[in-house]
Amino acid sequence: MTDYKTLIDAETWAFIEKTNAYYPPDAIDYTVAQQRAIYDRMCREFFAGYPQGVTVETTAIPAPAQDIPIRLYRNAKPLTVAMVLYVHGGGFILGGLDSHDDVCAELCARTGFEVVSVDYRLAPEHLHPAAFDDVMAAFEWATATYDRPVLLCGDSAGGNLCAAVSHATRGHVKKPVGQVLVYPGLGGDRSTGSYS
């Protein structure tokens, strides 16, 4: 068995332990609502405030099924060579605009790009392809709204959704200029519980 404590630096290991401290050992047996509450509480603990110069606006994109909540992050002088469409992780059942607020604000501050975070519909209330449809609609909105290329960025389930949008738009005139996939869920053993 791999001893990760010897492979991971102390700062990262402390982050992992702090994250794990929020989850009871039997959290997998909790209801979806209870798991969301734990996840949201953990994310609030990590919120460090917005970096200087970053402004935030929460709004929504009109869509056929229901409006899609988004949060826009802007610098006073944003770089206009591209914009970032950010899709949060959470196993398709957790997360939202608040859970990845720090990540998006920091991404905006450090890159200078405007960042739009997408709050797609979650399972199990909304079955596939609801999440994909929302992210695809947000991508189409971004390409119609911004006169600059769109860079897709997402973690875990969000990385999966970004890859799916990239795949779906291959060959289109307006396709993503690139994608940054942070530990994306792109495959695995299909006999495990999460797939079943």
| Residue-range domain boundaries for the chain | 50-182
Q: Indicate the helix (H) or strand (E) that contains 46.
A: helix 32-46
What are the DSSP calls for 109-177, one per residue? Answer: HHH-EEEEEE-PPPTTTS-TTHHHHHHHHHHHHHHHH-SS-EEEEEETHHHHHHHHHHHHTTT-SS--S
Q: Can you give the pLDDT of all 196 residues of the chain as single tens digits?
A: 778 778 899 999 898 899 899 889 898 899 999 999 999 999 999 898 999 999 999 999 999 889 999 999 999 888 999 999 999 999 999 999 999 999 999 999 999 999 999 999 999 999 999 999 999 999 999 999 999 999 999 999 999 999 999 999 999 999 999 999 999 988 777 777 655 5
Q: 79 and 107 in contact (C-beta within 8 Å)?
A: no
User: Is 50-182 a domain of CATH 3.40.190.10?
Assistant: no
CA distance 63 to 28: 33
pLDDT value at residue 33: 95
pLDDT value at residue 191: 77
CA distance 56 to 24: 33
pLDDT value at residue 188: 72
* Amino acid at site 73: Y
pTM over 0.85: yes
Instruction: Provide φ and ψ at 27, rounded to 5°.
Output: -60, -30
